[in-house]
Amino acid sequence: MKRPNRLPFCERILYGADYNPDQWLDDETVLLEDVALMRKINATSASIGIFSWTALEPSPGIYTFDWLDTTMDRFAKAGLKVFLATPTASKPMWLSELHPEIRRVGRDGRREPSGGRHNHCPTSPVYREAAQRINRELALRYGRHPSLALWHVGNEFNGECHCERCKGAFHDWLRRRYGSLGDLNRVWWTSFWNHTFTDWSQVPTFDQSIDGLTLDWLRFVNDQHVSFIENEMAPLRDLAPQVPCTTNFMGTNHTTNYWQWSRTLDCISNDIYPLHDDREDSWRKSLGSDFTHSLVRGFAGGNPWIMMECSPSSVNWGKVNKLKRPGVHLQEVLQAVANGADVVHYFQWRKGRGGFEKFHGAVIDHEGGSDSRVFKECAEVGRVLQTLSPVVGLSPSRAPVALVYDWEARWALEASAGPKRGTYGDRYTEACVEHFRALRSSGVEVDLVSTDADFSAYRMVVTPALYLLTDDTARRLAEFAAAGGAWVATYLTGYVDGNNRCWRGGFPGPCLREVFGLWNEEVDYLLDDERVRIQGSVFGAAGCTEATDIVERLHSEGAQTLATVASEFYAGSPIVLQNNWGLGKTVYVGARLAEEGYIGFYEHLAAKLGLPRLVLPRGVIRKTRIGADGPVDFLFNYTRHEAAIDLGEATFHRVSSGAACSGKTTLLPYDSLLSGALLPSNLRHTQNPTRSTQNELQPS
């Protein structure tokens, strides 16, 4: 399905929040104040009804839409748009008690009690039918309402259920995938530990000792979520086909392969909550947010998308819930816009008086007025977003480099016993973020893509830790390199096939020893405080770096050695190698390098390949959205320190003050600059792949 370049309901950047009038039905004063306060921050829209099922249907078949009628009409009168949610993210107590089978069952076989959220069984026909009924009522009543702009389907779907119905559906899914029990035993390698199944009823939903089962279970769970969402959307699309459907993603959430989800939705939305603590590494966290935004941009096919949730201040679920420093929140919003967001919504509009999220950040605090620092910052954000209407519908510039993010490789790695686990999260995503951050820090633009992307649109493709590698993906990447591209792979590449079975014939598989010109004999997993020295001119003037966590013992089989191990018993063995393949090159990095090592490596590689890049101080990033009338440039200082740069003849405007900047300029901490005019030729993003471009926008 090809998505429109412009979100059909966006004539300007939309700005608003999750709004819960059903929590304030006993206080009409609050509800009347809300619309007036929304106008004060230049809000244009709100997501309504996300957890409101009982307020809409207090008992089976009895509907109370009066409060929502009033809200929808009030929004229409005020010229505000509604993202109307289906209320299925939290099931009604009456439904949960009447039909306990809709409640999830954990791995321990225990059915969850009523309450909580995100805990419905996605396979349950009772819950699916109930969801369709309430959605049909909403579509019949509001499908043509003038304030309705978007269906917000459910909320942050995730999790898994191990009930007998899900187990049976899993068995059916496996039969369709493998055909016979014999083939299932073969691909899961069940003869290990005598796990061979002789009847389908013996196949469990969870067994850590069968890593092929774990991988397939996650695929099944993902498919069930997609199927549930499609079931929800059916009456909405039937009765109000002119209103697009979305559901809010959660970045790199574990059980959700959003590449697959994105194919069934009309537009893409995401929730993001960066935890800001104003330390020296704050710029790294900001680049982590850039990674997530780039991933969402990939889901949207490079087209505009929706930031459905973020916090205007602190959250309530972190270990330490820090306040955002001045300038940080505005920069976070503009960062999303620079990456293609045409909608910015908060969770939440008004803090509730009770419940789990009563201390979560919101536009309106418990004080209830407009005098708070956060409200004033939100009003300033609304003012700035009003001025950015020219970027609506524009796509961020196509990058010369693609980085592959693949949920199945992540799942397979996490399911496999042996590889060292991540310190702060999963090992796979850590690797992808580190390479993304190094590429951006070296001045190279990056798109995030799936394994089935069109690689030919890029100069270089990077596949960090692509542990699961199918024949088809390996072939397509090798063909990309042979046609003149550069393929960069890393440690943990090509260890297993699509069923989490190790490739025969040596790593990297399948049959990639010739493509990379090397053999990966074994891997050394390091203790947390261990460091292995690496040396090579590929790391720039320093000529060396360190490796942590993972170092592979590699042997060249025709590849050129760019760096070697300089310590440990395998000192002298190659660790970064380059091979000519057809008209292009393959490069292999066999260790997890220190940050400076990665940055030096990509600076070296970009120069050798003639990739366009922009040299800026560490933590200063430029992002461009391209339209028919030329580029719109955003310039961010992600650090808490001032940064000196030379803008040359380009004119930017400091977003906080509107002051014009050109020539030698000092960026303030968390500063954001914008250039909405056509840029001089020396600042335009070069499309010439044969020439290395070092832009004049660089440190003074």
Q: Catalytic positions, please?
A: 156, 309
Which residue bears the tokens 């679920």?
317
Minimal CA–CA distance to 634: which of 599, 683, 588? 683
Handedness of CA 3, 5, 8, 10 (dihedral sign): positive
**Kind plus residue range of the DSSP H or E element containing 40:** helix 28-40
Return all residues near 319 (Cβ < 8 A) that are at least 6 apart.
Answer: none
Report CA Rg, the chain: 26
Burial of 178 (0-12, 13-18, 19+ CB in 10 A): middle
Residues 226-246, buried b or exposed e (16+ Cβ, 10 A)?
A: bebbebbbbbbbebbeebbbb
Query: Per-residue b/e over 274-307, b at no fewer than 16 CB within 10 Å?
Result: bebeeeeebbbbbbbbbbbbbbbbbbbebbbbbb
Q: Residue 72 is inside which H or E element, if any?
A: helix 66-78
- The Cα 467–Cα 100 span in angstroms is 40
The structure tokens listed for 694 are: 């070092």
Q: Is 504 exposed, middle or buried (0-12, 13-18, 19+ CB in 10 A)?
A: exposed
For residue 418, what are the CA distances in angstroms to 209, 211, 413, 414, 525?
A: 12, 12, 9, 10, 9
Give the DSSP per-residue string, 231-256.
HHHHHHHHH-TTS-EE-EE-TT-TT-
